[in-house]
């Protein structure tokens, strides 16, 4: 989805520029809406932070 397409989403169109942003690679900033914040603040989502993306490779570092 191109940046211009993201800006056409009604939920994002109503945001002001002072809102927080989330960086999504490569070099794309996406506004953090109230709905997304509620999802991030759930216990299930927070548990994902404890999962290592390296798996057993983390033992070598």
Task: Give the DSSP H or E segment for 43.
Answer: helix 43-47
Domain segments of the chain: what residues?
Answer: 3-52
For the question of whether the overall pTM of this predicted structure is more than 0.85, the answer is no
16-20, 29-33, 49-53: segment of lowest average pLDDT: 16-20
- For residue 19, the model assigns a pLDDT of 66
Q: Where are the beta strands (DSSP E) in 1-61?
A: 21-24, 28-31
Mean pLDDT along residues 16-42:
78
Q: Structure tokens of 61?
A: 């570092």
Look over the chain and give the mean of its residue pLDDT values, rounded to a whole number: 77
Q: How far is CA 39 from CA 9, 28, 60, in A?
A: 18, 20, 33
Examine the pLDDT at 42 and tell me if it is beyond 70: yes
């Amino acid at each position: 989805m191109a940046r211009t397409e993201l800006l056409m989403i009604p939920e994002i169109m109503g945001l002001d520029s002072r809102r927080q942003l989330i960086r999504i690679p490569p070099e794309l900033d996406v506004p953090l809406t109230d709905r997304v914040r509620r999802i991030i603040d759930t216990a299930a989502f927070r548990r994902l932070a404890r999962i290592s993306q390296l798996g057993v490779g983390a033992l070598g570092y």
